[in-house]
Structure 1
Amino acid sequence: MGQEERPIRFSYQAKWISSALIVVLTIWLLFAVTHILPPFIGAIITAYLFNPLIGWLHRRTRIGRAIWIIVLYIVAFFVLYSLFTALWPRIVQQSRDLAANAPVIIRELTIFFEQNQTIEVGDFVISLAPLEAQVIGLIRDVAGWLSGNVPKIVFSALESVIYLLVYLIITFYLLLQAPQLKAWSRSLIPAPYRREIGHLGYQIDRVFSAYIRGQLILIVIMSVLLYIPLSILQVPYALVIAVASGVLEILPIIGPWSAAGIAMTVALFQPVTPFGLSNVALAVLLGIIYFVLRQIEDHFIIPNVMGPLVRLHPGVVIFAILAGGALAGAFGLFISIPIAAVIRILLSYIYRKLTDQPETPSDTDQPHTAAQQETVTGEVALGSQG
């Protein structure tokens, strides 16, 4: 009689070696194809942001996910096309003007600092010498970025079209198959640990979704709120400064101060000032406006948009920003805060395991409504119908 067939089973060492090889080869592959990753990364982020909306519409209407995704594409196309045709020419023109006038602004700044080495505020004397290199360097960097990035297309026309098609196709399939992908990732977790790991994943998802969606909303809100006073005060390049200020809001602590510095510097040297204000008074007024809007953002907008999910000490925030910028440039600056929040969650989880502590109620916090619970665990059944 033939020998009994037995399945191949990996030893403990073989499992670790196989896992390590897979990780190493995956990292090597990602580094080797870095130049083609942007459309895939963009598709993953877009699908992550809009999947809750598609899932909600699908549950409410019982209409297939594919239909709602097509509707989303159509609406997004018309919105982006309208914004592009209305705002893009002005942004490009103002960006070119600002970049072209940067040498004049830098020269006038140099003269200003030479003539005003100190400022007296009551009994205090403030030296402006340490600020000179920082402010001039900031203006030079912004002008260089505007002249090198805004008016130009990064890729060739053909390559841009290919990348756009890849982005749209990948986004479509990620949104269409999101429930199946969620069920597949859940099935990878061994059954005895599925609930516990699911709780941990839910906490991480809450941080990422709240932060990313909140930052995108903040960019729009702050850009609009800042454009209004900049226009009223007739500050040159108001649209570019407002949009840049909104984008800089994604950099906690550093971004808002940089945005205010740009606006105040431009106002300090604009040729014509409104309402009989001097250039210094106009710059101070803009500083006050930025400060007030920042307080409104911190105390009203952020708590309602993002909630208390990203709980980090200010020192940790500063370290995370610097580390993210050093490791991954501009993209690292954007994701540094949610990554730090996720690390906090993971370290807290590991600490409880090392000390055999039970999970706290906030750690096991789950959606309470039926619709929310269905989003986390039960969307697969509905998704298979779409």
Structure 2
Amino acid sequence: MVSKEARELSITLPRIVARARDIIDQDPHLSFVGYDVSIAPLVDEVTRSVGTVVSAVSRSLLDTAVATVETFFKGMLTLVITFYLLMGAERFKWWVGHHTPQPYRDELSPIVKEIDRILGRFLRGEVVLIVIMTIATWATLSALGIRYALILGLIAGILELIPFVGTWMAAIPAVVVAVATPSPHGWSPLVSAGIVGLAYFILRHAEDYFVIPFVMGRAVHIHALVAMFSVLSGAVLGGVLGMFLGVPTAAALRIIIGYIYGKLTEPMPAPDQDKMLLEAAVPVSEMENTG
């Protein structure tokens, strides 16, 4: 079923994009709750953008397909790399412990275990998010009568690997398909596109307020602003892979910084009472031996 929808979408994609451009050119207005909203200022920009997509697809459909497959496998490769890192965590912990001076091993062990636990829970959380958003998007688009709902759902799930912006990126092809294909409910193309956009908006906020706090909030325990900054920093430093690893890296740094802060602020250890008593008893023993 997935391969069938993928073949149909690859064949009809140029026609879908061209039809979307024609519809926007012909009727640049959107009626909503009795109000007529003009989108004329956006028509030129949308037309240019869509025209670029059409020409790109027409010039090299193979390049487009290769880029899509490459993006997919980059996401899968990210999961595989993270999985193998977790699988080799015990060996890595042994190596770190073996090369750590003996006095510090007891303090280092709980830190490494906590980081390992955070990474494992983060990876499991990402898999759960992908499954939830794939099913939710597929079910929503199917209920709205949007073609290629399964493919669009898989795209939404895979783009969950890109935090914050992945859902909005996944909404773009769904809106284009909604504009260019007839609605079984009799909606106009722009109304259909608006409803699909609203559906993605609701899914995004449902994910932010319910799914992510429940699934990921318990895993990494970092503030949303810190998570957003870590994602942006990861994007600058490492592209898509950096965006994916930004949050768990920030969580690991939180553990390390918390440990360092605790060591710097903890009170000085009290003198060893037993040692003091022993030292005080030495002169007495010497006096007894002398006598």
- The answer to whether the superposition gives a TM-score over 0.5 is yes
* 1:83-116: CA deviation from partner (whole Å, max 9, x where unpaired): xxxxxxx323322332333322332344455456
CA distance in 2, matches of 1:201, 1:137: 52
Q: Which residue of 1 aligns with 2:249?
A: 339
Name which of 241, 254, 268 aligns with 2:179: 268
Give the superposition deviation at 1:151. 7.7
* 1:17-49: CA deviation from partner (whole Å, max 9, x where unpaired): xxxxxxxxxxxxxxxxxxxxxxxxxxxxxxxxx
Larger Rg, first or second structure (1 or 2):
2
- Which letter does structure 2 place at the counterpart of 1:260? A
Q: Which residue of 2 aligns with 1:132?
A: 46
More helix by share: 2
Any residues of structure 2 matched to 1:153-302 within 5 Å, and which? 182-270=93-181, 272-302=182-212
Q: Which residue of 1 aligns with 2:266?
A: 358
Q: In structure 1, the residue corresponding to 2:161 is in which secondary structure?
A: coil
Q: Is the 8 A contact 1:95 1:146 kept in 2?
A: no
Q: Which residue of 2 aligns with 1:148?
A: 66
Query: For residues 334 and 289 of structure 1, do their structure 2 counterparts lie closer, same or farther at Cα, with a shift above 3 Å needed?
Result: same
* 1:109-165: CA deviation from partner (whole Å, max 9, x where unpaired): 44455456687987987642696289649967997776226789x9xxxxxxxxxxx
CA distance in 2, matches of 1:210, 1:134: 44
Normalising by structure 1, report the TM-score.
Answer: 0.52
Q: Which residue of 2 aligns with 1:58?
A: none
Structure 2 unmatched runs, 5+: 73-79, 268-291
Query: For residues 106 and 180 of structure 1, do their structure 2 counterparts lie closer, same or farther at Cα, with a shift above 3 Å needed?
Result: closer
Q: Is the 8 A contact 2:97 2:105 kept in 1?
A: yes
CA distance in 1, matches of 2:109, 2:208: 31
Q: Which residue of 2 aligns with 1:164?
A: none
CA distance in 1, matches of 2:128, 2:175: 25
CA distance in 1, matches of 2:236, 2:47: 21
Structure 1 unmatched runs, 5+: 1-89, 155-166, 360-386
Query: For residues 93 and 178 of structure 1, do their structure 2 counterparts lie closer, same or farther at Cα, with a shift above 3 Å needed?
Result: same
- Which letter does structure 2 place at the counterpart of 1:262? P
CA distance in 2, matches of 1:269, 1:195: 63
Give the superposition deviation at 1:295. 2.7
CA distance in 1, matches of 2:31, 2:168: 22
When structure 1 is superposed on structure 2, of 278-287 and 207-216 the one drifting more is: 278-287
Query: For residues 259 and 223 of structure 1, do their structure 2 counterparts lie closer, same or farther at Cα, with a shift above 3 Å needed?
Result: same
Q: Is the 8 A contact 1:223 1:246 kept in 2?
A: yes
Normalising by structure 2, report the TM-score.
Answer: 0.67
CA distance in 1, matches of 2:121, 2:99: 26
